[in-house]
Structure 1
Amino acid sequence: MTTTGTATAPGGPGGAHRPLEVPGRPASLPPGARVVLKVGSSSLTRADGGLDLNRIDILAGLIARMRQRGHDVVLVSSGAVAAGMVPLGMEDRPTELRLLQAAASVGQGNLVARWQTAMSAYGVVTAQVLLTVQDVAVRSHYRTVRATFDALLSLGAVPVVNENDAVATTEFSLGDNDHLAALVSHLVTADVLVLFTDVDGLWTARPGTPGAVPVRHVVGSGQLASVDVSARGSALGTGGMRSKAQAATIACASGTATIVAAANDAARLLGETTIPQDLGTWFEPTGPHRPSRRLWMAYASIPEGRVVIDAGAARAVTVGKKSLLLPGVTAVAGDFESGSVVEVVGPQGPVARGICRYSAAELEEVIEARAHRRPGPDHVAPVVHRDDLAELPRTAG
């Protein structure tokens, strides 16, 4: 990790300054890069809770210019609940689920209409895409969503994406929109994910804390141990810096570089071909783009159970890139059948998801026989074959 605490570097006579340069950090987006932009509620609303139409217009203009430079763009836009609060006379973001859904129902139409109006002024066609857990958790639905995105982008449209909050529940939700944006990055095989927020990127501690400096370049999948990501989101938002660090880690593990930056800096960040080095935090990809099947298993599927493994099996799966074999399984949780997606959990936590070739009952039978030192069932197939295994990145906690 490279950290930098100042926006400029001294140089030249008379205390002149030269632009900051961060070794290894890219100075521009890759030519023709496919970009996912995520804008949070706090960046799209005014102090009174209404939509900030000026901010929407600025972003619409930037998206139009990016498309002119050859970039496909997908917009993940929060703000449905915030956009519905004022028409419904709500002064504070509700906490009750039915009121959140009511606000989202009213606000989503207002939100997408504003985006359509703003982008049409620049000749850009928009398409509303509302996603639910089922749309991504079911493999056949996941493929359909991918095909829809591919068709929209090939036709030159800009998808405007949000979770369908009007029908989402606490138990069945895609999570905050930072996680949704990382998932959309996988769906469209994005080259770069941009997470706009109200803070200038990732800092070693909350901005304003003595000694806190901005982190301009993150290389590798480390645990960001020296960075405090505990700050919560705004009153209108649901995320915070932790969720952005986690989303960046997830996206980077599958080949998508990530930028976390202040929405106020959007014009400087994306308005030209170069990216100022003194803005935001650039996270380098830590892995290659993966096949859609493994992306689905790792990030979109809903595991039907857990397979607990020992330290040796965890090393074999993650370091050795091996299949998961029966001797490494120590416990099973859940009632699942053969062919189900399960979470593979090592001593340090979840390490992978995969398609299990045994039912929970079969695995429990093997574990019980082992505990009583008696011959178990004659099973030789891997519990999860390497071809059916998707490793999980360690995310910032």
Structure 2
Amino acid sequence: MKRICIKIGSNVLTKTNGELNTSRIKNIVYQISALRKLGFQCILVSSGAVAAGKSKVKIPEKIDTVSARQIWSSVGQVELLNIYSSYLKEFKIDCAQVLVTKQSFRTREHYLNMKNCLNSLLNHDILPIINENDAVSVTALMFTDNDELSGLIASMMNVEDLYLLSNIDGIYTGNPNDPASKLVKTVSGDINRLKQYITTEKSNFGRGGMITKCSIAGRVAKSGIPVHIANGGIDNILLQLVKSPETVKHTRFIASKKSSTVKQWLAGSDGFEKAKLIINQGAEEALCSKDASSLLPVGIVSIIGDFEKGDIVKIVGNSGKILGLGKTQYNKSKAESFIGKTGEKPVVHYDYLFLY
């Protein structure tokens, strides 16, 4: 069976007055049912809990932002899942709620535990509905938004495609409301050139914007999974994308060669690094060449922070450019003793290295 990940943004699921758009949710459920009949295993990452909570609970303005979000998300998650569940029952589909925090991805052990949970649900024909656990997440440890979460899930579950459904058709060369702006239909390779076009405006109900979508989509595509940014407000958009994506108005990120599962884990580990390894120009050229290359201690200039064997580190060029992430083969003390020396074991082996 083909496995796909679908992320639904808050603006797709809410009306302009902030209430949940139940007819939109019903259409999404219908599409998932149709996709399952076509042989697809679906994983749903759904926003909307905070928006649902806001429409159910009115709280005093004097309450702090974190507490307000905790109340709205806690109440709203129940409301959102009840609506999904009631519509899914019409198609005889069971669903499961999976709430996660960014810390759930911090170690390979946690990562594999979550992967096993999702695989078990899918193997028993149960639809996982995933959302961030806003009730316990704090600002410093939160996902940028559910785009980031869906990218991590897509890589973890090695899906065929990731679909990011927003309230616009994709990435434009300017403001989407400007008639002179054009839709970027395909993206391949370096995504930095796109950022000059993208508006920093965020959605009414969500935390993220198109810059986040672009960054996440680029990283997921780099790990070997095609990504589609499309308008979730269009009825049956998912079915159209699956059946004939070339005919649908949207932005598609073309996938690179499939990465190993370890590299896919590393691709989503930004923010969990324990230290930074500053490397010289020669090491940067070696890592960024077409030939597979590990990071040797001879190429390290300095180390910022502390780490043990098996920790994640960020690799930074001498100019300050962030190059990627790696899992270390030994601790900082040993690495520092080998700095500048040849013939030593790699600090980060190629198999445990992900370059942006």
Shared fold by TM > 0.5?
yes
* Aligned partner of residue 118 in structure 2, secondary structure: helix
Is residue 178–residue 195 contact of structure 1 (8 Å, CA) maintained in 2?
yes
Name 2:298's counterpart in structure 1: 327
Is residue 269–residue 275 contact of structure 1 (8 Å, CA) maintained in 2?
no
Residue by residue over 1:192-227, the C-alpha shift from the partner in whole angstroms, topping out at 9 and shown as x without a partner, is 111111111111111133521111122334433475
Letter in 2 for 1:282: R
Equivalents in 1 of 2:209, 2:60: separation in Å? Answer: 22
2:237 is the counterpart of 1:273: no
CA shift in 2, pair 1:329/1:182, >3 Å: same
Equivalents in 2 of 1:173, 1:251: separation in Å? Answer: 19
Name 2:130's counterpart in structure 1: 161
Equivalents in 1 of 2:67, 2:186: separation in Å? Answer: 41
Is residue 219–residue 267 contact of structure 2 (8 Å, CA) maintained in 1?
no
CA shift in 2, pair 1:226/1:147, >3 Å: closer
CA shift in 2, pair 1:385/1:274, >3 Å: closer
Name 1:10's counterpart in structure 2: none
After TM superposition, the structure 1 = structure 2 runs for residues 236-255 of structure 1, keeping only pairs within 5 Å, are 236-255=205-224
Letter in 1 for 2:348: V
2:36 is the counterpart of 1:48: no
User: Quick check: 74-83 or 171-180, which moved more?
Assistant: 171-180
Unaligned runs of 5+ residues in structure 2 are none
Is residue 191–residue 215 contact of structure 2 (8 Å, CA) maintained in 1?
no
Largest Rg, 1 or 2: 1
Equivalents in 2 of 1:47, 1:340: separation in Å? Answer: 45
2:254 is the counterpart of 1:284: yes
Unaligned runs of 5+ residues in structure 1 are 1-31, 371-375
Letter in 2 for 1:355: K
Equivalents in 1 of 2:174, 2:320: separation in Å? Answer: 26
Shift of 1:251: 1.3
Residue by residue over 1:76-111, the C-alpha shift from the partner in whole angstroms, topping out at 9 and shown as x without a partner, is 00011111112221599x971122112111111111
2:173 is the counterpart of 1:204: yes
Shift of 1:147: 1.1
Among 147, 160, 165, which residue is 2:116 paired with? 147
Equivalents in 2 of 1:33, 1:259: separation in Å? Answer: 16
Name 1:13's counterpart in structure 2: none
Is residue 326–residue 382 contact of structure 1 (8 Å, CA) maintained in 2?
yes
CA shift in 2, pair 1:90/1:118, >3 Å: farther
After TM superposition, the structure 1 = structure 2 runs for residues 65-144 of structure 1, keeping only pairs within 5 Å, are 65-89=34-58, 96-144=65-113
Shift of 1:386: 1.8
The percent of aligned pairs where both chains have the same amino acid is 30
Shift of 1:355: 2.1
* Aligned partner of residue 171 in structure 1, secondary structure: helix
Name 1:357's counterpart in structure 2: 329
2:351 is the counterpart of 1:387: yes
Name 2:204's counterpart in structure 1: 235
Equivalents in 1 of 2:294, 2:129: separation in Å? Answer: 39
Name 2:308's counterpart in structure 1: 337
Name 2:282's counterpart in structure 1: 312
Equivalents in 1 of 2:346, 2:211: separation in Å? Answer: 36
CA shift in 2, pair 1:224/1:95, >3 Å: farther
Shift of 1:51: 0.9
Shift of 1:278: 4.1
Letter in 1 for 2:234: D
Shift of 1:231: 3.1
Equivalents in 1 of 2:100, 2:332: separation in Å? Answer: 31
Instruction: Return the TM-score normalized by structure 1.
Output: 0.82
Is residue 85–residue 91 contact of structure 1 (8 Å, CA) maintained in 2?
no
User: Quick check: 202-211 or 177-186, which moved more?
Assistant: 202-211
Equivalents in 2 of 1:284, 1:215: separation in Å? Answer: 12
Give the aligned CA root-mean-square deviation in angstroms.
Answer: 2.3
CA shift in 2, pair 1:89/1:326, >3 Å: same
Shift of 1:267: 1.1
Letter in 1 for 2:307: F
Among 158, 182, 185, which residue is 1:216 paired with? 185
Name 2:154's counterpart in structure 1: 185
Equivalents in 2 of 1:120, 1:239: separation in Å? Answer: 31
* Aligned partner of residue 56 in structure 2, secondary structure: coil
* Aligned partner of residue 129 in structure 1, secondary structure: strand
CA shift in 2, pair 1:384/1:286, >3 Å: same
Equivalents in 1 of 2:227, 2:302: separation in Å? Answer: 36
Is residue 200–residue 260 contact of structure 1 (8 Å, CA) maintained in 2?
yes
